[in-house]
Amino acid sequence: MKSADPAETEALAADAAARLTAGDVVLVSGELGAGKTTFVRGAARALGVGEQVVSPTFTVGARYRARGVTVAHLDLYRLGSLADEDPALLADYFSPETISFVEWPEHAGGESLGRVVLRVFLEHLGGDARGVTLDWGP
């Protein structure tokens, strides 16, 4: 599908968020500036997060309280691979009570990130337009 601007990307994310439940993991991929954080922001708002959702690039992750669930937002861009990190680094971001969004999941180095239910691929189409692919897993 195609998104004409950030507001449409957030709306697509909000629609997807309606299908998510606690314990779900969403992998969000795309090149720099493709709209990964915009997608997560739209989903988080739809799930009831009232705080500002920004990229946690320098902190690796952020947790937000939503309606009856915790929303975790991870950005693995700065990690070479999880193999080089303390195994407990991401533990607080995955639980049966949390919906987790992971930007740059390829930096996890093949490590399991939990029950992945959705893979999101975003690509630049010129200007503010983005291609958005939603791949719902089993």
**Residue in the structure block whose two tokens are 């799930």:** 47
Determine the Cα angle at 123 with ends 117 and 128, to 5°: 120
Residue 89 corresponds to which tokens in the numbers above? 């680094």
Q: What's CA 37's distance to the chain center, in Å? A: 7
Identify the band that residue 59 occupies on the pLDDT scale cut at 50, 70 and 90. Answer: confident
AA identity, residue 123: E
Question: Residue 46 has which token pair?
Answer: 């739809």
What would the pLDDT profile of 77-110 be if each residue is shown by its tens digit? 877 665 666 666 778 899 999 999 999 998 876 5
The secondary structure of the chain in percent helix, strand, coil, rounded to multiples of 5, reads: 25, 30, 45
Tell me the average pLDDT across 108-123: 85
CATH of domain 2-136: 3.40.50.300
- Domain ranges for the chain: 2-136
